[in-house]
Amino acid sequence: VSHGIMTYSDKEAFAQAVVAGDVRSAARLMRLADDREPLARDLLSLLFPHTGRAHIVGITGNPGAGKSSLVDNLITSWRGRGLSVGVVAVDPSSPFSGGAVLGDRIRMMRHATDPGVFIRSLATRGALGGLSRSAGDIATVMDAMGLDRVLIETVGVGQDEVDVVRMAHTTVVVMVPGLGDEIQILKAGILEIADIFAVNKADKPGADRLAMELQSVQHLGTDQRHIPIVRTVATAQEGIEELVDAIETHAGLLRSSGELQERDARRLTQAVFQLVHEAVDADLTELFDRLNKENAIIDELLSRRSAPATVAQRLLELINKI
């Protein structure tokens, strides 16, 4: 079916195929969503009633923290527990998203033939824009497909990555001893989003000190939550079951305390705001171009005759007249 001429029942059939777990349809929808095709929005709306089952887990940490090996092992552990797993990789250094060293790439390939595993990497498209929106759409598709756990892997610096992680129910922050910048990272807002700390490469010197620092730094947070610290050696499969246990325990706590609903509400509200922003942006670009043609706005700015706030005010008045 060419998507130019899709009828409502075509769309329903497409959505049903995704819900039934059809991998080709799911992959096609993810591509459409990535390309911001209007069709994707309709399909995602049709899928929406079938979502809300998957537990979404964010994994973040510096490049070199070993997130990919950890993700690889988490997949294996969950599969061993009879759960299906989706992975959204938005880390440019991750083998899942194509930035692999050869060994990593070979290791992850063992999941490629497992029908209970669905891995999707997100191209950063050079300009890094819109990552969190695309990651959210892909997580929605995976949720609708019936995958039990959805992992979103990202790099833990920058607003965009923090936004990605905000879409998760449970966020694991991966740290390693010896990088020396642990505390800086905590300062940069990561403490607020961490539900679990994984101290990876825990066989390396400095792991004890790092774990102790993470313990003591918890008291600096605004909300005084207890954040479990799990030691792992991903390359030796050590601590993986403990990490999965910590994630599952956190999921249970969220459910029983009602916090899961709160986080879900926050995620969905964020999705709504993103869609509104996108629509406003499209209008805005058009309005700005028109205003510039009629009034040479850019010249006014360049010659410092009109301040940005003045131009913004004029655009706002135009928006409200649409």
Residues that bind a copy of itself (CB under 8 A): 41-42, 44-45, 48-52, 63-64, 92-93, 99, 124-129, 131, 155, 157-162, 180-181, 184-185, 187-189, 191-192, 222, 261, 264-265, 268-269, 271-273, 275-277, 279-281, 284, 288, 298, 301-302, 304-305, 307-312, 315-316, 319-320, 322
User: Considering the complex, what minimum distance in angstroms separates the CB of residue 269 from a copy of itself?
Assistant: 7
Residue closer to a copy of itself, measured from CB, 249 or 269:
269
- Give the three-state DSSP class for 289: helix
User: Considering the complex, what minimum distance in angstroms separates the CB of residue 301 from a copy of itself?
Assistant: 4
- Give the three-state DSSP class for 127: coil
Distance, in Å, from the CA atom of 291 to the CA atom of 270, rounded to the nearest integer, reads 30
Residue closer to a copy of itself, measured from CB, 35 or 281:
281
291 CA to centre of own chain: 36
Residue closer to a copy of itself, measured from CB, 20 or 276:
276
User: Considering the complex, what minimum distance in angstroms separates the CB of residue 280 from a copy of itself?
Assistant: 5
Tell me the CA end-to-end span of the chain in Å, nearest whole number.
35
Residue closer to a copy of itself, measured from CB, 71 or 230:
71
Residue closer to a copy of itself, measured from CB, 99 or 228:
99
User: CB-based contacts of 89: which residues, under 8 Å, 6+ apart?
Assistant: 71, 96, 97, 119, 120, 121, 122, 153
User: Considering the complex, what minimum distance in angstroms separates the CB of residue 47 from a copy of itself?
Assistant: 8
Residue that the structure tokens 């923090």 belong to? 162
Helix (H) or strand (E) holding 38: helix 38-47
How large is the angle between the packed helices 259-295 and 308-319, nearest 10 degrees?
A: 100
User: Considering the complex, what minimum distance in angstroms separates the CB of residue 75 from a copy of itself?
Assistant: 22
